């Protein structure tokens, strides 16, 4: 089942909350004192504008700019008093008293949009960023490597994709923050199918492999360096940075938590603990065990089988000078292990979504570019993977192909109904390939214009013991994710996709 695609969460990418919090005021002379307050439509604005809360006085027949918005008050009537409000969630609203003001992109914002579109067009034609910084952690979490530089922005603009949770990280120019006009230097937009942790009994997750009392049943967890990261706050345990081989008295006990379950830690003999440069426990020696108060205590078990996909965009360097680079990003946990062409059999369909950045060009009759529009896109992604086995035609063994189509912009409006990207057939799992779940191939947009794509499988797999027999007993990968770029006669896209096993 394809994931439907949605709307732009908010027009205020980096809008400032605050401003006046009282009633509206009207100007003198031809002002709107005592007149009705009307709502100013913001539907004509291009998504991504920046604006702050405030009051804008607009004389009749004139235009005044506030942030990236140009407010115009009709001539021949009263002056307009426009009140702009940015909510805590980033939602922007505007009202007008006196005349009925209208809102359009400001001239400066319009120029920025066109310049941005030109730069994005160049970046997509180049295929990707020439240098892609290591902005995401390698653990599959999707979090930035330097979380002190990037912040998660709940009200940042992005398309909503059903079935996938979204997160936007942004790094802002400090000078622009001080000036009250925040400007993003880097943005990372990610979508993930990671589920909430599952409450699970402690004993079902961590082996009770130590007998702490006189009966014959193991009732405790042996504490080792491998699981010391699950130790919670325990009074008496070291917590300062770089404490090494802190010794404990034999038979001493300490109350605390392990994987959030309450219980008691016991030092049997020759016990030491050590901390790292952050003050976290990183090494255990001697004989320690943890006895839970309740073996069935429910602890949160994180989802260990998920993928994320999205894109990174850089629009300025750290000093705010113009720059533009873009690159799609994918990741996840539990990358599938497909070592040889004999490892899995059967086939699977993967349904999901794609996102990234697009440029659509308006062409003149002579083929010149009259204007460009750009922004985030969302689309449907469908892929079919053929593995091995007698039920799969031999010439399809270990190949994957797919389609990305139904492109819409961040507001859910179709970008171009003719756009469809063919992910051309690519092979994987070549005999002897130690990284057999990786694949790459070509994309085709329209008029024979070519691009590229690549990806990999995610999720645990079970190898079929008899791949020659018809019918498969394999557990096939639960998801696939990858990146792509594609080109059309009137535009281009660059982005990433994620899809789940629909069979």
Task: List, for residues 341-364, the tens digit of each pLDDT value.
Answer: 457 788 899 999 999 999 999 889
H-run or E-run covering 123: helix 107-126
- The helix/strand/coil state of 249 is coil
**pLDDT value of residue 180:** 55
**CA triplet 466, 467, 473: central angle to 5 degrees?**
75
Long-range contacts of 34-40 (CB under 8 A, 24+ apart): 35/78, 35/97, 35/98, 36/97, 37/95, 37/96, 37/97, 38/95, 38/96, 38/97, 38/100, 39/93, 39/94, 39/95, 39/96, 40/71, 40/82, 40/94, 40/95, 40/96, 40/100, 40/101, 40/102, 40/103
**pLDDT value of residue 6:** 32
**pLDDT value of residue 465:** 64
Task: List, for residues 445-465, the tens digit of each pLDDT value.
Answer: 998 899 999 999 988 887 766
* Mean pLDDT in residue range 19-45: 60
* Mean pLDDT in residue range 248-264: 96
Does the pLDDT of residue 2 top 50, yes or no? no
Does the pLDDT of residue 1 top 50, yes or no? no
- The residues with which 327 forms a beta bridge, in sequence order, are 312
Task: List, for residues 61-101, the tens digit of each pLDDT value.
Answer: 999 999 999 999 999 999 999 999 988 767 899 999 999 99
Confidence tier at 12 by pLDDT (50, 70, 90): very low
For 51, the token pair is 């604006």
**pLDDT value of residue 455:** 92
**pLDDT value of residue 316:** 64
Task: List, for residues 296-336, the tens digit of each pLDDT value.
Answer: 999 999 888 889 999 888 776 555 555 677 778 888 877 77
Does the pLDDT of residue 123 top 80, yes or no? no
Task: List, for residues 177-212, the tens digit of each pLDDT value.
Answer: 555 555 666 788 999 998 899 999 999 999 998 887
Does the pLDDT of residue 473 top 70, yes or no? no
Task: List, for residues 411-445, the tens digit of each pLDDT value.
Answer: 889 999 999 999 999 988 764 444 567 889 999 99
Q: Give the chain's domains with CATH numbers.
A: 5-105 (no CATH), 199-301 (no CATH), 333-501 (2.40.160.90)
Most confident of 121-125, 281-285, 468-472: 281-285
Average pLDDT, the chain: 82
For residue 482, give every residue at least 6 positions away whose Cβ sits within 8 Å of its Cβ, in sequence order, or none. 309, 330, 439, 453, 454, 455, 456, 496, 497
**pLDDT value of residue 13:** 33
**pLDDT value of residue 142:** 64
- The residues with which 191 forms a beta bridge, in sequence order, are 166, 309
Q: Can you tell me the distance from the alpha carbon of 350 to that of 416, in angstroms, rounded to the nearest whole number? A: 24
**pLDDT value of residue 490:** 93
**pLDDT value of residue 471:** 55
Contact assessment for residue 331 and residue 308, using Cβ atoms and an 8 Å cutoff: yes
**pLDDT value of residue 463:** 74
Contact assessment for residue 380 and residue 405, using Cβ atoms and an 8 Å cutoff: yes
pTM, entire model: 0.74
- The helix/strand/coil state of 483 is strand
Ranges 214-218, 407-411, 476-480: which has the least confidence: 214-218
Confidence tier at 38 by pLDDT (50, 70, 90): very high
**pLDDT value of residue 25:** 34
Does the pLDDT of residue 217 top 90, yes or no? no
**pLDDT value of residue 27:** 38
Q: Can you tell me the distance from the alpha carbon of 340 to that of 397, in angstroms, rounded to the nearest whole number? A: 12
**pLDDT value of residue 53:** 92
Q: Can you tell me the distance from the alpha carbon of 250 to that of 241, in angstroms, rounded to the nearest whole number? A: 24
Task: List, for residues 124-154, the tens digit of each pLDDT value.
Answer: 776 654 445 566 666 656 666 666 667 777 7
Most confident of 177-181, 265-269, 335-339: 265-269
**pLDDT value of residue 152:** 75
Which of 411, 371, 419, 327 is CA-nearest to residue 113? 371
> Radius of gyration of the chain from Cα atoms?
29
**pLDDT value of residue 183:** 60
């Amino acid at each position: 089942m394809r994931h439907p695609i949605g709307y732009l969460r908010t027009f205020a990418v980096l809008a400032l909350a605050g401003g006046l919090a009282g009633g509206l005021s009207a100007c003198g002379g031809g002002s709107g004192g005592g007149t009705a307050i009307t709502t100013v439509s913001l539907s004509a604005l291009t998504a991504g504008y920046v604006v702050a809360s405030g009051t804008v006085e607009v004389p009749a027949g004139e235009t005044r700019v506030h942030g990236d918005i140009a407010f115009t008050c009709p001539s021949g009537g009263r002056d307009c008093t426009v009140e702009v409000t940015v909510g805590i969630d980033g939602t922007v609203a505007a009202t007008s008293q006196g005349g009925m003001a209208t809102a359009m992109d400001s001239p400066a914002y319009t120029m920025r949009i066109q310049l941005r579109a030109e730069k994005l067009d160049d970046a997509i034609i180049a295929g990707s960023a020439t240098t892609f910084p290591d902005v995401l952690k390698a653990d599959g979490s999707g979090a930035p490597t330097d979380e002190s530089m990037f912040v998660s922005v709940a009200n940042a603009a992005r398309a909503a994709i059903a079935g996938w949770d979204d997160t936007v990280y942004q790094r802002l120019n400090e000078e622009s923050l001080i000036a009250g006009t925040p400007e993003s230097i880097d943005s990372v937009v990610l979508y993930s199918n990671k589920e909430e942790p599952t409450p699970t009994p402690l004993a079902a997750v961590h082996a009770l492999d130590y007998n702490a009392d006189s009966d014959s049943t193991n009732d405790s967890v042996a504490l080792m360096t491998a699981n010391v990261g699950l130790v919670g706050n325990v009074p008496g345990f070291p917590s300062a940075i770089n404490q090494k081989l802190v010794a404990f008295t034999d038979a001493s006990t300490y109350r605390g938590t392990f994987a959030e379950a309450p219980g008691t830690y016991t030092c049997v003999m020759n016990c030491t603990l050590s901390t790292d440069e952050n003050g976290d426990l990183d090494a255990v020696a001697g004989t320690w065990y943890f006895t839970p108060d309740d073996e069935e205590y429910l602890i949160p078990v994180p989802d260990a089988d998920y993928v994320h996909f999205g894109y990174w965009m850089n629009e300025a360097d750290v000093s705010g000078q113009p720059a533009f680079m873009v690159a799609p990003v994918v990741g996840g946990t539990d990358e599938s292990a497909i070592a040889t062409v004999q490892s899995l059999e059967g086939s699977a369909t993967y349904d999901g979504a794609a996102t990234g950045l697009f440029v659509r060009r308006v062409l003149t009759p002579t083929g010149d570019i009259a204007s460009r529009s750009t922004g985030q896109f969302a689309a449907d992604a469908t892929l079919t993977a053929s593995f091995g086995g007698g039920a799969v035609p031999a010439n399809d063994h270990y190949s994957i192909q797919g389609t990305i189509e139904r492109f819409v912009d961040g507001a859910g409006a179709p970008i171009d109904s003719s756009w469809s990207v063919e992910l051309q057939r690519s092979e994987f799992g070549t005999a002897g390939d130690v990284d057999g779940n990786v694949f790459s191939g070509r994309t085709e947009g329209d008029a024979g214009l070519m691009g590229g794509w690549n990806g990999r499988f995610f999720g645990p797999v079970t190898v079929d013991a008899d791949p020659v027999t018809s019918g498969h007993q394999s557990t096939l990968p639960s998801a696939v994710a990858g990146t792509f770029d594609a080109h059309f006669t009137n535009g281009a896209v660059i982005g990433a996709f994620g899809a789940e096993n629909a069979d």
